[in-house]
């Protein structure tokens, strides 16, 4: 049986392996809940973008909010990536790894004055500005610091909702970006304001997009704008098409990054914009399929026999030691993520809701899953490399999971399990 996602996370006989290591053995060695990542899978995902961009002036900026663990940032930094950040905290993570500020773009709708000051001080490559008010504040902050902020305006291209209803950030009526009808006026304003230098244009139309259509629509709108802006004498040096490419959680079949980028390049070349520096900000598509969340089955709780009340017909619960605080995607987005036993049992499966220990009915990892498991077995949630550990919380005073990185037969602990003392170390009792 093949698994969705990465070829580096696969069965060897009855055991689930991540590259050359048994997932159950990793769980025994490091405890659970445990995030385990395939480094080869991350680099292969990046290579798909890189292959399409060979010979072009480009920068792939990993959107680190997908997974901002230092060793993950380091992996992409060593492979030549730049980074897309959305907070001052992410900026400090990148700097802590030794990333050059000149390879960092700063996105986000709510940058604070302090975040702008710090980003100017270290000299980030570009601010992706999302509103007119932000443009004004950035101008004032930069001018008073005696710095120049390089800016790109994030355009909301309002790509057709009728044909692409799953796109969530590139439509008018959401909080992201500057409406494309207002773009030219904002560029003219940016060119006048002190402390700003226009360098590019960007968009980011959504996430988990599984076909090229909306990207091509957005690209056309941006190219139209570039032509209109440059006709007014403002040079646009780079074109940043954001992130958003989907991955396979179950049976989705997104284009490869290579195929997507090639189709975008064809359009860019056909319209005579092939000389521009190109940027992408992939997050999920670089790390999502590379990770698993490993958890131990604590209890099986069989459902009650139906007692005349159809609604009371028994559900079976598989209670595991990972919870919504470790993996929020199912609770937050009703996301479907595949769950497998780390060691196959040759017995008939039962149907379970896989749930965690947190005191919320929303605390589930998967519903109606066929599993053959006993208490003490390990299960793995697949495609948990993106928006998983980076969204973990301490709800129910649960420390965050440990993380390991695997490459071939090698394994490195890249984050310690969070010790319980640290969860309230910064708190203060009232005077008695």
Ligand X SMILES: *Cc1c(COP(=O)(O)O)cnc(C)c1O
Q: For residue 241, is it left (φ>0), alpha (ψ between -120 and 50) or beta?
A: alpha
Contact segment (CB under 6 A) with ligand X among 249-257, 277-285, 304-312, 412-420 equals: 277-285
For ligand X, the closer of residues 67 and 407 by Cβ is 67
Based on the residue annotation, tell me whether 61 is a catalytic residue of this protein: no
In 337-408, alpha helices (H): none
Q: Of these, 41, 285, 383, 407, which contacts ligand X (CB under 6 A)?
A: 285
8 A C-beta contact, residue 301 and residue 316: yes
Element (H, E) at 152: strand 149-156
* Candidate list 126, 203, 342, 359, residue with the active-site label: 359
Site residues for ligand X, 230-249, by CB under 6 A, read 242-245
Tell me the CA distances in angstroms from 365 to 70, 140, 272, 321, 396, one per residue in order. Answer: 26, 46, 48, 11, 17
Contact segment (CB under 6 A) with ligand X among 12-20, 280-288, 376-384, 424-432 equals: 280-288
Site residues for ligand X, 177-206, by CB under 6 A, read 204
For ligand X, the closer of residues 241 and 382 by Cβ is 241
Q: Shortest gap between Cβ of 293 and ligand X (angstroms)? A: 18
Contacts of 333 (CB under 8 A, 6+ apart): none
For ligand X, the closer of residues 65 and 111 by Cβ is 65
8 A C-beta contact, residue 13 and residue 1: no
* Cα-Cα-Cα-Cα dihedral sign, residues 226, 232, 237, 238: negative
Q: Of these, 115, 158, 217, 281, which contacts ligand X (CB under 6 A)?
A: 281
Q: Shortest gap between Cβ of 371 and ligand X (angstroms)? A: 29
Q: Of these, 5, 200, 214, 282, which contacts ligand X (CB under 6 A)?
A: 282
Site residues for ligand X, 37-96, by CB under 6 A, read 63, 65-66, 84, 86
For ligand X, the closer of residues 44 and 298 by Cβ is 44
How many residues belong to the site for ligand X (CB under 6 A)?
17
Q: Shortest gap between Cβ of 414 and ligand X (angstroms)? A: 20
Site residues for ligand X, 301-360, by CB under 6 A, read none
Q: For residue 9, is it left (φ>0), alpha (ψ between -120 and 50) or beta?
A: beta
Q: Which two tokens stand for residue 348?
A: 């008939």
List, as one string, the DSSP characters of 254-284: PPPHHHHHHHHHHHHHHTT-TTSEEEE--SH
β-pair type (350-355, 126-129): unpaired
Query: 129 pairs with which residues across the strands?
Result: 153
Contact segment (CB under 6 A) with ligand X among 266-274, 283-291, 321-329, 371-379 equals: 283-291
For ligand X, the closer of residues 283 and 399 by Cβ is 283
Q: Shortest gap between Cβ of 147 and ligand X (angstroms)? A: 23
Site residues for ligand X, 93-132, by CB under 6 A, read 107
Q: Shortest gap between Cβ of 202 and ligand X (angstroms)? A: 8
Q: CA–CA separation, 228 vs 225, rounded Å?
A: 5
Q: CA–CA separation, 354 vs 301, rounded Å?
A: 10
For ligand X, the closer of residues 30 and 238 by Cβ is 238
Annotated catalytic residues are: 359
Binding site for ligand X (CB under 6 A): 63, 65-66, 84, 86, 107, 204, 207, 242-245, 281-285
């Amino acid at each position: 049986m093949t698994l969705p996602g990465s070829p580096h996370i696969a069965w060897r006989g009855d055991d689930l392996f991540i590259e050359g290591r048994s997932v159950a053995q990793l769980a025994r060695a490091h405890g659970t809940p445990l995030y385990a990542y395939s480094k080869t899978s991350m680099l292969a995902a990046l290579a798909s973008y890189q292959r399409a961009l060979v010979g072009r002036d480009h920068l792939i900026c990993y959107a680190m909010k997908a997974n901002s663990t230092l060793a993950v940032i380091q992996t992409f930094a060593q492979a030549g990536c730049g980074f897309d950040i959305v907070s001052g905290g992410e900026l400090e993570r990148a700097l802590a790894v030794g990333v050059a500020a000149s390879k960092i773009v700063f996105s986000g709708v709510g940058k604070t004055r302090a975040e702008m000051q710090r980003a100017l001080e270290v000299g980030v490559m570009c601010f992706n500005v999302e509103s007119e008010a932000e443009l004004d504040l950035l101008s004032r902050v930069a001018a008073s610091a005696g710095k120049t902020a390089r800016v790109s305006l994030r355009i909301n291209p309002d790509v057709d909702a009728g044909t692409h209803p799953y796109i969530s950030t590139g439509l008018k009526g959401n909080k992201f970006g500057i409406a494309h009808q207002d773009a030219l006026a904002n560029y003219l304003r940016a060119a006048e304001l002190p402390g700003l230098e226009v360098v590019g244009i960007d968009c980011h139309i959504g996430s988990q997009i599984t076909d090229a259509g909306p990207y091509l629509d957005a690209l056309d709108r941006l190219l139209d704008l570039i032509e209109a802006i440059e006709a007014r004498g403002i040079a646009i040096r780079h074109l940043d098409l954001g992130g958003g490419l989907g991955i396979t959680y179950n049976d989705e079949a997104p284009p490869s990054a290579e195929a997507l980028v090639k189709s975008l390049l064809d359009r860019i070349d056909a319209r005579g914009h092939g000389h521009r520096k190109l940027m992408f900000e992939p997050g999920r598509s670089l790390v999502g399929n590379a990770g698993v969340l490993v958890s131990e089955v604590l209890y099986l709780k069989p459902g009650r026999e139906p007692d005349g009340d159809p609604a009371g017909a028994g559900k079976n619960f598989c209670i595991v030691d990972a919870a919504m605080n470790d993996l929020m995607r199912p609770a937050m987005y009703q996301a479907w993520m595949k769950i497998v036993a780390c060691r196959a049992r040759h017995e008939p499966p039962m149907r379970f809701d896989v749930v965690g220990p947190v005191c919320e009915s929303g605390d589930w990892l998967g519903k109606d899953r066929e599993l053959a498991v006993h208490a003490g077995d390990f299960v793995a949630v697949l495609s948990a490399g993106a928006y998983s550990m980076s969204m973990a919380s301490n709800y129910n005073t649960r420390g965050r999971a440990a993380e390991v990185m695997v490459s071939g037969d090698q394994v490195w602990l890249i984050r310690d399990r969070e010790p319980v003392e640290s969860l309230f170390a910064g708190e203060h009792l009232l005077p008695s």
